[in-house]
Structure 1
Amino acid sequence: MSLESLWLALLGLLLAGYFVLGGYDYGVQMLHPFLGRSGADGSRGAREAAEPVGRNAALAAIAPFFLGNEVWLVAFTGVLFGAFPHLEGSLLSGLYPLIVAILAGLVLGNAAVQLRGRAHSARGRRRWDALIVLGGGLPAVCWGLVLGLLLHGVPRRPDGSFHIGFGEVLSPFVLACGVTTALLFAAHGAVFLALRSAPELASAARRSGTALLRAAGAAGALTLLLTLLGAGAPMRNGVTSALLAALFAAALAGAWWWLSRERHGRAFAATCCATVLPVLLVGAGHYPYVLASSSGAGLTVRQAVTDGATLKILTAFGVVLIPVILAYQTWSWWAFRGRTGRRHPSYF
């Protein structure tokens, strides 16, 4: 394998890792206000004073991993800047509105999750809850829109630049990708809560997860239908794309099957696979293009990558840094294994 292909695979691995780990963060943020309604009973004053147990427990489930999962996004950005400067120059400027929306959602969500516990009234907590949902839902939808645009192809100009407008973002296929990704991340978060939470919250998360998985499957089927009707993504590698789409459908079906039978570990493994596959579809479906164009020639791996000498220097750093990231994530999961409420305190 050439250094160019190796670094492209690493770029995809880092983004896929972020989708797996950051995806359940987004999902839990979107779901947490709706999973603890039965925790407060009695008079209106008692309901306002009491804090539904499920809401705190949902946030407690992601607390040990919350900011650590952002390491994968930082590493992905570093590889994009260092190893693929020509792709970064086109991609970030062309997708600027969506990138800003993703970053705004991350900032809002991170701040709201950590500041919500400082609210002293039910009204204040509801305001923070709204920001938490926005902080999870906005990046989830925007990541889906980004994937949809990359699958469909962007209007690339002869100088290599492009700019997306409302026409490209609001196309049926791109919107369907945004909805599919948001539903997928929400389902992923529900399965994570079913795996990590105490029995009462796990039961509510399981019911939500099965419904969300069916909805994600329906939205994914819509993207396939639009593709078959000519309004979707004209993939360069059709056989590979069809195989990955079939694996995506199988992962969703397997997650639903195992979740409905309370096999939470297997269901979580299946949703992890489902969140990885869209990234693989973007990379493998258009290979050797890393940026497909809807209006001419795209950008190939060889055109996007930096020079060989720089790649060799980066490889020396990558050999050290990537195992450190993997070791940290493995240790973090091992240290905070088990369900919340038994071994670990509430962090938020």
Structure 2
Amino acid sequence: MTTLESVWLAVLGLLLAGYFVLGGYDYGVQMLHHRLGREESGRRAAISAMGPFFLGNEVWLVAFTGVLFGAFPHLEGSLLSGLYPLIVAILVGLVVGNTAVQLRGRARGERSRRVWDMLTVVGGGLPALCWGLVLGLLLHGVPRRADGTFHVGPAEVFAPFTLLCGVGAALLFAAHGAAFLALRSEGGLAERARAAALRLLGAFAVAGLLAVLLSVAGAGASVTNPVAAAAVTAVLALALAAAWRSLAAGRAGRAFAATCLAAALPVLLVGAGHYPYLLASSAGHGLTVSRSAADGATLKLLLAFGVVLIPLILLYQAWSWWMFRGRTGRRHPAYF
């Protein structure tokens, strides 16, 4: 593998992990806002907590897609066609969630608000679940044929390990969103978010343990590098423990930092666990990094854009967090 391929592989992982961190708490807030808010003012406060960052977080997904298409076209062609139903479900969830979050504040009656609230929850829960299913399929290995194509059906999607990964991702993103609300909100909403995060972290730990047991039994993840996968899993467990301890001590900032790490680690788990394969196959026809990457001239051309655009994305994200720091209601108006 060349140096350029290594650079773009790291960039691809960074962008997806960044999206899981930033888009992950969006999913979590959407899933939890109705239950934690209880009354309309609390629900508005929950939505407002993520308001300044909501659409900006999608930039990471757009950038990830651009790198996937440009730097790894052979992976894109195989991955998106094989996982087409799940990719479509993720996009539908994003559209529904973005629409519902922005329009619920314009609802004139209680009934219409309930409809938008339900769609907001669906818009957070559906992508979170489907991302987990995608990760589960990638960890297990897809039935890739010799010609590079594959198709996942109900048997693969609804396998116990894959379902556990889907449910686990939804629980992790929900816990991440609750930690975010504990950091960004005030009063009863913050306290309810802290309590919910503790419960959700416990539920995710149970789902993760079951997934590990299935893998040990030979019915779960089938990784190329078990030592690397075990090391990442151990770091994930430490991040969960740190988040739990910080939440129990009332340190919302440290808890959110720990859930940020936990949300990013599944990407590293897939990458490190299967390296040098970007797409592991249960049928023995895996796709390596070198075979999935574009040619050297294309990678060099893309590098000129990456050197400019990726730092700009990082600077924008840091600037937005600095400008809208603090808890909702103290310094900033309501959003949406």
TM-score normalised by the chain length of structure 2:
0.99
Amino acid at match of 2:87: I
- Following superposition, the deviation at residue 251 of structure 1 comes to 0.8
Instruction: Tell me, in whole angstroms, the C-alpha distance in 1 between the residues paired with 2:187 and 2:324.
Output: 18
Amino acid at match of 2:256: F
- Following superposition, the deviation at residue 36 of structure 1 comes to 2.2
Q: Is the 8 A contact 2:89 2:126 kept in 1?
A: yes
Q: Partner residue of 1:330? A: 318
Q: Partner residue of 1:8? A: 9
Instruction: Tell me, in whole angstroms, the C-alpha distance in 2 between the residues paired with 1:118 and 1:327.
Output: 33
Moved over 4 A (4+): none
Amino acid at match of 2:244: W
1:88 alignment partner, one of 69, 76, 93: 76
Alignment of 1:146-157 (within 5 A): 146-157=134-145
Alignment of 1:111-150 (within 5 A): 111-150=99-138
Instruction: Tell me, in whole angstroms, the C-alpha distance in 2 between the residues paired with 1:16 and 1:111.
Output: 24
Alignment of 1:38-77 (within 5 A): 39=39, 52-77=40-65
For structure 1, which runs of at least 5 residues remain unmatched after alignment? 40-51
1:262 partnered with 2:250: yes
1:287 partnered with 2:275: yes
Q: Partner residue of 1:249? A: 237
Q: Partner residue of 1:99? A: 87
Number of matched pairs:
335
Q: Partner residue of 1:42? A: none
Amino acid at match of 1:237: N
1:29 partnered with 2:21: no
Q: Is the 8 A contact 2:145 2:285 kept in 1?
A: no
Amino acid at match of 1:29: Q
Q: 2:115 aligns to what SS in structure 1? A: helix
Q: Deviations over 1:115-151 (max 9, x none)?
A: 1011111111111000000000000000000000000
Q: 1:35 aligns to what SS in structure 2? A: helix
Q: Partner residue of 1:217? A: 205
2:161 alignment partner, one of 173, 194, 202: 173
Instruction: Tell me, in whole angstroms, the C-alpha distance in 2 between the residues paired with 1:228 and 1:62.
Output: 39
1:227 partnered with 2:215: yes
Q: 2:111 aligns to what SS in structure 1? A: helix
Instruction: Tell me, in whole angstroms, the C-alpha distance in 2 between the residues paired with 1:261 and 1:161.
Output: 50
Instruction: Tell me, in whole angstroms, the C-alpha distance in 2 between the residues paired with 1:178 and 1:283.
Output: 18
Alignment of 1:171-210 (within 5 A): 171-210=159-198
Q: Is the 8 A contact 2:89 2:127 kept in 1?
A: yes
Amino acid at match of 1:125: R
- Tell me the percent identity: 72
Q: Deviations over 1:8-27 (max 9, x none)?
A: 01000000000000000000
Amino acid at match of 1:278: P
Instruction: Tell me, in whole angstroms, the C-alpha distance in 1 between the residues paired with 2:287 and 2:157.
Output: 20
Instruction: Tell me, in whole angstroms, the C-alpha distance in 2 between the residues paired with 1:234 and 1:95.
Output: 19
Amino acid at match of 1:14: L
2:292 alignment partner, one of 281, 304, 310: 304
Instruction: Tell me, in whole angstroms, the C-alpha distance in 2 between the residues paired with 1:259 and 1:68.
Output: 27
Instruction: Tell me, in whole angstroms, the C-alpha distance in 1 between the residues paired with 2:109 and 2:307.
Output: 50
Instruction: Tell me, in whole angstroms, the C-alpha distance in 2 between the residues paired with 1:138 and 1:90.
Output: 23
Instruction: Tell me, in whole angstroms, the C-alpha distance in 1 between the residues paired with 2:187 and 2:16.
Output: 32
- Following superposition, the deviation at residue 260 of structure 1 comes to 1.2
User: Mean Cα displacement is larger for which, 21-30 or 212-221?
Assistant: 212-221
- Following superposition, the deviation at residue 97 of structure 1 comes to 0.1
Instruction: Tell me, in whole angstroms, the C-alpha distance in 1 between the residues paired with 2:291 and 2:71.
Output: 11
Q: Deviations over 1:23-82 (max 9, x none)?
A: 000000000000122x4xxxxxxxxxxxx2210000000000000000000000000000
Instruction: Tell me, in whole angstroms, the C-alpha distance in 1 between the residues paired with 2:160 and 2:24.
Output: 23
- Following superposition, the deviation at residue 296 of structure 1 comes to 1.3
